[in-house]
Amino acid sequence: MKLSHTVFSYAGPAAVFGLALLSACTVVVEEPGPLPDPGPQFCTREYEPVCARRGGERRTFANGCLADRAGYDVVRRGECRRDVVVEEEPRFCTREYQPVCGRRGDSLRTFGNECEADAAGYRVIDEGEC
């Protein structure tokens, strides 16, 4: 009887100390936030060209989805314009007559064909005369 009384007299304070120690231990569990959108997993093959930029680089993609997958931000619809500073090689165009309307800045001009408009630094905006 003396032994059981000795064990229980120490067990009471030990149990209280153990419970106090466990209650002081707090575990913080953070719920993970939403994962970033990985973007589209696949892109269609439709041709709707866009001009896209990443850093200082501009590049034309067949569509916005392909630009997004490559890590580029779409700047505008249509192909990227060339910065014509000095033409490295002369460009030769055929003389076939298929008139197009080209634009460069605010300037509109009719060209005999698409090649001539492109060689002059104009972007074709419509078939036929302006």
Percent of the chain scoring above 70 in pLDDT: 62
**Span 92-130: which CATH code?**
3.30.60.30
Extended beta strands in 2-105, E state: 50-54, 57-61, 73-77, 100-104
> Which tens digit of pLDDT belongs to each residue from 79-100?
998 754 444 556 788 889 999 9
- pLDDT value of position 118: 86
42-83 and 92-130 have identical folds = yes
pLDDT (average), residues 8-15: 61
**Span 42-83: which CATH code?**
3.30.60.30
Q: What distance lies between CA 7 and its chain's CA centroid?
A: 70
pLDDT (average), residues 10-21: 64
- pLDDT value of position 111: 94
- Higher pLDDT, residue 106 or 27: 106
pTM of the model: 0.36
- pLDDT value of position 82: 73
Would you list the domain boundaries of the chain?
42-83, 92-130
The dihedral region occupied by 74, where left means phi > 0, alpha psi between -120 and 50, and beta the remainder, is: beta
- pLDDT value of position 86: 46
Q: Is the pLDDT of residue 109 over 90?
A: yes
